[in-house]
Chains A and B, each alone.
Chain A
Amino acid sequence: DAGVIQSPRHEVTEMGQEVTLRCKPISGHDYLFWYRQTMMRGLELLIYFNNNVPIDDSGMPEDRFSAKMPNASFSTLKIQPSEPRDSAVYFCASSGAGMGNTGELFFGEGSRLTVL
């Protein structure tokens, strides 16, 4: 089975440009998470969705960040305009939900963003 698929794996852009990160969760999973990892702040939850509906976006740092999940198999995280402090690895994860399951989050390989 395919795991969580993220694209691009690496993105280098200049300050002020728009960045769009993409995620395809595991088929059948109804939760999708966006995390950001930096050396300074570790792993931070940005937003998560349940059945395509945003449940908690309290971790989204600013209005420059937005996330959508138009259907069960696709999500985007957009940064506009990007700033150097947005440089990080962005992970997407999905889970099959329900405390009856293991609660395991399946992570993608991450998108490494560098904003110059």
Chain B
Amino acid sequence: AQKVTQAQTEISVVEKEDVTLDCVYETRDTTYYLFWYKQPPSGELVFLIRRNSFDEQNEISGRYSWNFQKSTSSFNFTITASQVVDSAVYFCALSNFGNEKLTFGTGTRLTIIP
């Protein structure tokens, strides 16, 4: 069985602060994929990133960065210099190799206070 845990239900930070969203996963498979999705107030789900289990390099995209650590089964997401437009619910998700099915965490609601 696979499971994704996002322990932070809600986070609020003041604009321009950095914020990290935690994600811990469980899977028996040795090859798997991890994802982050954003759900803004409008409701649609927007893909942010996919990482493969065999590639532990951290990734940076603009103000976004991701820290993948297999040793702790974590795939954390950091937003640097947060902006009001970053306010959304963020979901971490997991799929196993050869299986297109995504298992989502419960999401973290991020509010950026102007």
Do A110 and B44 form a contact, CB below 8 Å, given A31-B100, A48-B100, A103-B95? yes
| B101 and A104 within 8 A (CB) | no
Dominant secondary structure of chain A at its interface with chain B: strand
Known: A99-B97, A99-B98, A109-B43. A42 touches B104 (CB 8 A): yes
Whether A45 lies near B102 (C-beta < 8 A) is yes
A105 interface contact, C-beta 8 A: yes
Which one of B43, B91, B95 has the greatest number of beta carbons of chain A within 10 Å? B43
What bracket does the count of chain B residues touching chain A fall in?
20 to 34
Partner of A103, one of B35, B42, B46, B91: B35
Q: Which residues of A contact B33 (CB under 8 A)?
A: 99, 103
Which size bracket describes the interface of A in this complex?
20 to 34
Contact flag A91-B50 (CB < 8 Å), given A56-B101, A103-B33: no
Question: Please, what's the 1-or-0 string for B96-110, where 1 marks a CB less than 8 Å from any CB in chain A?
Answer: 011011111111000
Residue interface bits B23-60, CB-to-A below 8 A is 1, else 0: 00000000001010000001111110010000000000
Interface residues of B (CB under 8 A from A): 33, 35, 42-47, 50, 91, 95, 97-98, 100-107
